[in-house]
Amino acid sequence: MIVRKISIIVGALCSMSMFAQQSASSETEIKPEVKLSYLDSVKSTFKKNEMAAKADSLWMKELTSLDIYDDLSKDIQTINSDVTVDEELPTELLKQRLQAMNEKSPFHIEYNQGLENIIKSFLKNRKKSFSRLMALSEYYFPIFEESFAKNNIPLEIKYLAVVESALNPKAVSKMGATGLWQFMYGTGKQYALKIDSYVDERSDPMKATAAASDYFTKMFEVFGDWELVLASYNSGPGNVTKAIRRSEGKTNYWDIRSNLPKETQGYVPAFYATMYLFEYHKEHGINPERAVVKNFETDTINIKKEMTFKQIADLLDMPQSQIQLLNPSYKLNVVPYYQGEQHFLRLPKDKIATFVSNEKQIYAYVDYQSANRALPVKLALKVAPKAKPHQEKIIDTDMQLYKVQKGDNLGAIAEKYNVDIAELKKWNNLKSNSVALGRTLKIKSDVDPAKISKDAKSSLAVEKKSEEAIASAEDKDKNAAEPQEYVVAAGDNLGSIAKKFGTTIAELKELNGLTSNNIGLGKTLVISKEVPVIEETANVNTALAANASVDSFKKSAVSKKISEDYYVKKGDSLYSISKKYPGVTISDIKKWNGIKDGDIKPGMKLKING
């Protein structure tokens, strides 16, 4: 027992000794001095408001996505109301529901076979789109209803914005019609919507809705029928009056429909079909996605100095995409300041509270940035003294290289380096959002490469050493290009494929000659028209020798000529197969095997030489 007590006492003394040493060392430890940027020093003085009302990023993408607008616009223009669609909806049940809608609406909603066909077509092909549209409606419909109620306009006309723009304030038609209500330039000016280099109020939800309300009111005074008002909104009042004359004075929409322009013939039925799906979505198993932020959770503030969206985002710790969503009328991501005019910024209420509480510091930061703004590059080159012939070329140390990896797209790369997609496209001469796997991108950013993943970091290290060689090879091979292809796998759809490759559904359809969104399992899709194929040159081999794994692989690959048979596996494409054999291109495989198009099937035997 005595020995046990002694051991306990000794242990306690040792622990106290160690604690004393740690305390002494911690007291003598010198902490590194942390230098704050001017932005951080400004924000450190802010009065914090911890209200948590941030918009969900997925919902943000839905609000700014043009996919639904492109699909619905094409549907309405090409839909054939005379074609019967096989979809589970008894005709008698549809008649009862349309009658119920008609009883509580000033519109003349009546059953006809054409309307039934359009409703069934939407149910068959657009269920998912309407689920997303119902999420957007939670933000925009209250704006529409408030304006319509003030002007005694039927609230059902809110569904017209779904037909017009798929509830996207940035939607622009081929003819230039812009915004939620698709105003042409002249009509926008006629209804006092400001359109200049900085601002386009056709994209402002409130002001554009007020202008649309004014139009609806005036057209109802002319025609006295809301269906004819809708027809005039699509084709113009002149075409409606012509159709009335050609129909011997008849004024019922369904009586004059055949004499209206082709697009307008499907316009009002598409409006009724949209109204039906919103009214009876539960009965058809359409589950609306929920909007995280509602319009009543936002507010506006008068901006007293010109400010960029980036400055606002940095100061208020919020994504620029959210500011763009809430303020779509500012074309250049800048809130301008005109003498004698007011410009308002819409923000979530918690951000408004932070802004109002710290206005003095915020405007001081804007003044500081304006005073220290760098000269534009072209102007700086004119002002700067010309370098003498013997002087070394100045290298832009901020320019980095990034090799596109599997799963990358321009949006993700831009976010990683804190730059804009437009800047990425400009630095790399990209005409579309498509970017090829393995392509080297030039990026001007001050983001620390150490923060990037290890794989990307090692890729950067190799590419920095070989910048000149790769640039030279890319220039030589601009004419030697092959289409990038993708084989449709289980669970794929055009939307997921477009997102994976940083392109759009419309571009995929155009490249592949698709007339609908339906794609078959195993079909080979062309993703982009051109994918640079870098041939092996002495310079590239020398540069890549810095990477031991690449060097050893190439030595083993070229040690002897390969001639073998390859059996196509599930998920293979000509592009993926060509990448398995160094120096082999898609054209080579087609030539060796007599393939005219890109279709290959699992189990097919391919001859590979090279």
pLDDT digits (tens, 9 = 90+) for 201-254: 999 999 999 999 999 999 999 999 999 999 999 889 999 999 999 999 998 898
In a shared domain, residues 141 and 199: yes
Domain end marker among 261, 284, 307: 284
What distance in Å separates the CA atoms of residue 524 and residue 483, rounded to the nearest whole number? 11
List the beta bridge partners of residue 566: 606
List the beta bridge partners of residue 335: 307
What distance in Å separates the CA atoms of residue 195 and residue 344, rounded to the nearest whole number? 16
* 119-153 per-position pLDDT tens digit: 988 888 888 888 888 888 888 999 999 999 999 99
37's enclosing H/E stretch is none
Is 577 or 19 the better-scoring residue by pLDDT? 577
Identify whether the C-beta of residue 304 lies closer than 8 Å to the C-beta of residue 337: yes
Cα-based distances in Å from 608 to 483, 536, 578? 19, 19, 9
Identify whether the C-beta of residue 144 lies closer than 8 Å to the C-beta of residue 209: yes
Average pLDDT value for residue range 480-494: 67
Task: Confirm whether 548 is domain-assigned.
Answer: no
Contacts 24+ apart (CB under 8 A), 392-397: 396/444
pLDDT at 31: 45
With tokens 């990037």, the residue in question is 452
pLDDT band at residue 194 using 50, 70 and 90 as cut-offs: very high
DSSP string, 194-211: -BSSSBBGGG-HHHHHHH
581: domain CATH number is 3.10.350.10
pLDDT at 535: 37
Residues contacting 476, CB < 8 A, separation 6+: 535, 537
Domain end marker among 454, 478, 500: 454
In a shared domain, residues 69 and 176: yes
Task: Confirm whether 139 is domain-assigned.
Answer: yes
Domain that holds residue 312: 295-376
Q: How many C-beta atoms lie closer than 10 Å to residue 67's C-beta? A: 21
pLDDT at 517: 72
pLDDT at 11: 54
In a shared domain, residues 272 and 413: no
In a shared domain, residues 244 and 123: yes
In a shared domain, residues 143 and 269: yes
- Cα angle at 111 between 110 and 116, to 5 degrees? 135
| Residue 484: DSSP 8-state | E
In a shared domain, residues 194 and 137: yes
Residues contacting 603, CB < 8 A, separation 6+: 567, 568
70: domain CATH number is 1.10.530.10
pLDDT at 143: 93
In a shared domain, residues 230 and 359: no
pLDDT at 443: 85
pLDDT at 591: 83
Cα-based distances in Å from 480 to 477, 529, 533? 5, 12, 7
pLDDT at 54: 42
What distance in Å separates the CA atoms of residue 535 and residue 540, rounded to the nearest whole number? 9
pLDDT at 413 over 90: no
Phi and psi at 89, nearest 5°, equal: -165, 100
List the beta bridge partners of residue 361: none
In a shared domain, residues 433 and 506: no
In a shared domain, residues 65 and 177: yes
Domain end marker among 242, 264, 284: 284
Least confident of 26-40, 301-315, 325-339, 460-474: 460-474
Task: Confirm whether 418 is domain-assigned.
Answer: yes
Task: Confirm whether 23 is domain-assigned.
Answer: no
Exposure string of 243-282, with b = 16+ CB inside 10 Å and e = fewer, is bbeebeeeeebeebbebbeeebbbbbbbbbbbbbbbbbbe
Task: Confirm whether 576 is domain-assigned.
Answer: yes
What distance in Å separates the CA atoms of residue 304 and residue 364, rounded to the nearest whole number? 12
In a shared domain, residues 302 and 275: no
Phi and psi at 524, nearest 5°, equal: -90, 120
In a shared domain, residues 299 and 415: no
pLDDT band at residue 474 using 50, 70 and 90 as cut-offs: very low
Distance of CA 597 to the CA centre of its chain: 31
Identify whether the C-beta of residue 346 lies closer than 8 Å to the C-beta of residue 33: no
pLDDT at 381: 53
Provide the domain count of the chain: 4
pLDDT at 205: 93
* 510-550 per-position pLDDT tens digit: 777 777 777 777 677 877 654 443 333 334 343 334 343 33
pLDDT at 44 over 80: no
Q: How many C-beta atoms lie closer than 10 Å to residue 75's C-beta? A: 20
* 385-401 per-position pLDDT tens digit: 554 444 444 444 467 88
pLDDT at 202: 95
Task: Confirm whether 562 is domain-assigned.
Answer: yes
* Percent of the chain whose pLDDT exceeds 70: 68
pLDDT at 453: 47
Task: Confirm whether 469 is domain-assigned.
Answer: no
* 322-333 per-position pLDDT tens digit: 888 889 999 989
What distance in Å separates the CA atoms of residue 162 and residue 284, rounded to the nearest whole number? 19
pLDDT at 262 over 60: yes
In a shared domain, residues 302 and 278: no
Task: Confirm whether 388 is domain-assigned.
Answer: no
